[in-house]
Amino acid sequence: MEYWILDESHKPIPVDDVLTWGRFFEDIEKRRVAETYRGRVWISTVFLGIDHGFGQGSPILFETMIFHSRRLDGWTDRYHTWDEAVAGYKAAVRLVRTTDILEAELSYYLDIIPALQSPDKTWRDTFKWLFPIAYKRG
């Protein structure tokens, strides 16, 4: 098995010695690309130190994961380089933000739809009121 560490410029370097690899891994700050909390949702991007491509092509050495999200918990993406990992991390943060916004909007509409329903209204009438542009006749 080939082990990897990062140099000061975040370039992956293969190492044969598991002790060198283990010492590098003792400090999470050396291998953390980025992390953030958005409410209780945790977005984390790290250097893995082992090729998760398992020898198929360029080594896959970085990973972003989303934790504690109702819709995205366990979402994962992996990368070859530090720069790809940074870009992937930013994309994951945008994904969480967008999902939060969409969930809030959906929750709002799901809360008000029953209030709009009455015996003399149909679902079509309700959605025409909620989304008038979709039903606008030209």
pLDDT tens-digit map of 33-55: 999 998 889 999 999 999 998 87
Tell me, what's the pLDDT at 78? 97
Q: What is the mean pLDDT of the chain?
A: 84
Tell me, what's the pLDDT at 85? 98
Q: How far separated are the first and last CA of the chain, in Å rounded?
A: 66
Q: Is 44 exposed, middle or buried (0-12, 13-18, 19+ CB in 10 A)?
A: middle
In contact, 86 and 80? CB cutoff 8 Å = no
* Nearest of 33, 45, 32 to residue 78 by alpha carbon: 45
